[in-house]
Amino acid sequence: MITMEAKSKAPERNIYAMALEQLDHVAKVMHLDPNIHEYLKYPKRELTVSIPVRMDDGTLKVFTGYRVQHNQALGPSKGGLRFHPDVTLDEVRALAMWMTWKCSVVGLPYGGAKGGVIVDSKKMSKGELERLTRRFTAEINFMIGPEKDIPAPDVYTDAQVMAWIMDTYSMEKGYSVPGVVTGKPICIGGSQGRREATARGALYTMQEACKHLKMNLKGSKAIVQGFGNAGSIAAKLLSDEGVVVVGVSDSSGGIYNEKGLNVDEVIKIKGETGSVMHYSNASKVDRREILLQPCDILVPAAYENQIDEEYARKIHAKIIAEAANGPTTPEADRILHERGVFLIPDILANAGGVTVSYFEWVQDIQALFWSENEINNKLKEIMTRAFANVLKVSLDRKIDMRTAAYVVGVGRVAEALTIRGIYP
């Protein structure tokens, strides 16, 4: 099933401008070569396509889709595909750039990319969604492939959508190419643990943050904004660790109970009714206001641009783990840092998803598959090592965790670009 949270009504903001601002900031901090800085501001390649779809009622509708490859210095580009009515080219550009830093910060041999289609897929039938996905794949076909660019799920896309992409690409090649996408169903080359990977990776970083802050994860109180793939599984894993999950939200709103929610029950109710709001034993809160309720750990797992200056001043949490991409604005970052909130930035906190995507791609290429235990152990090793690297840079240079993650992420890409040189 595909779930989705509508965007909260945060003030409008161009997130590509925000991504560039973050890059400018780190360029100053790390004294980045101005030529490399200039290079990294632009996507390597971007494609806009029209996607004609025969609707169930016989009419034809044309949708717009994008695939942006930001950088391929470290390897083929990697990044999800999102279906959402608010998708813009600038949003996809920002998300592609963040994928470059994300893959680099955890040490994957990948560059960054992202795709998006402007569509309210909630309003489409399964057949319409399949035709949309297949035609989009056909339009971007020449740009993707296991050695070139590998899509994956993101907002409002899931394993079924990946299966259609894999099938369409394979039909055009004439043989099965499982490595063209990740996040596939297990039966066609998907990986154990991929579905839980974003949330599990985020959990590992929260465990490391608690160790560093000498805080007990068990018994602490957490709020999760967003109840899609990342959010719902993060809530479940946290509650399995003995964390009291006091609040969650989805597109319809949030629920809060200071004594804790029964996460299994919330997941069940969400599955049955489509919203967490039908859970009875909690007070109702606005979907964005949920971020401001009392808690120790806050996990934004919905959309970009949720924590602005005003929110940054009011947030109670001691730790913020960004399971979503880009939930915090640069102004909010400064305030959170001043207030001593420990922030685990998106490119680190949610890198578990793309890390297990990498494992899936490796397994597909060698046609040899690993157990869930092997996957989770390898994921833990990568996430804890990346966390330790970033924390060390943050402490050594006395900079906030986001800037530190950028120093590591941008640094590796800059090193690769420098050694490879500019063609011709």
List contacts with ligand GLU (CB under 6 A): 78-80, 152, 154, 182, 325, 350, 353-354, 357
Is the omega angle on the peptide bond into residue 178 within 30 degrees of 0, that is, cis? Answer: no
Of 182 and 293, CB closest to ligand GLU: 182
Q: Are strands 111-118 and 60-71 parallel, antiparallel or unpaired?
A: antiparallel
Using Cβ positions, the residue closest to ligand GLU within the complex turns out to be 80
Residues across the chain? 424
Which segments of 224-316 does DSSP mark as H helices, in order? 229-240, 263-273, 309-314
Burial of 227 (0-12, 13-18, 19+ CB in 10 A): buried
Of 194 and 236, CB closest to ligand GLU: 194
Catalytic residue, from 7, 114, 236, 318: name it: 114
Of 255 and 390, CB closest to ligand GLU: 390
Of 239 and 305, CB closest to ligand GLU: 305
Kindly calculate the radius of gyration of the chain based on its CA atoms and give it in whole angstroms.
Answer: 20
Q: How far is the CB of 221 from ligand GLU (least distance, A)?
A: 27
CA distance linking residue 219 with residue 226, whole number of Å: 22
Tokens representing 29? 């901090």
Of 335 and 354, CB closest to ligand GLU: 354
CA distance linking residue 102 with residue 231, whole number of Å: 19
Q: How far is the CB of 182 from ligand GLU (least distance, A)?
A: 5
Tokens representing 259? 């004594």
CA distance linking residue 44 with residue 113, whole number of Å: 9
Nearest to 401 by CA among 208, 130, 123, 114: 208
Q: List, as one string, the DSSP characters of 178-237.
A: GGG-SS--GGGT--TTTTTHHHHHHHHHHHHHHHHHT--STT-EEEEE--SHHHHHHHHH
- Backbone φ and ψ for 252, nearest 5 degrees, come out as -85, -20
Instruction: Report the first-to-last Cα separation within the chain, whole angstroms.
Output: 48
Q: How far is the CB of 81 from ligand GLU (least distance, A)?
A: 8
Q: How far is the CB of 146 from ligand GLU (least distance, A)?
A: 13
Give catalytic status of residue 122 as yes or no: no
The sign one gets for the Cα dihedral 401, 402, 408, 409 is: positive
Q: How far is the CB of 59 from ligand GLU (least distance, A)?
A: 32
CA distance linking residue 344 with residue 355, whole number of Å: 17
Q: How far is the CB of 346 from ligand GLU (least distance, A)?
A: 8
Q: How far is the CB of 168 from ligand GLU (least distance, A)?
A: 18
Of 94 and 290, CB closest to ligand GLU: 94
Of 79 and 111, CB closest to ligand GLU: 79
User: How far is residue 71 CA from its own chain's centroid?
Assistant: 17
Could you give the residue numbers annotated as active site? 114
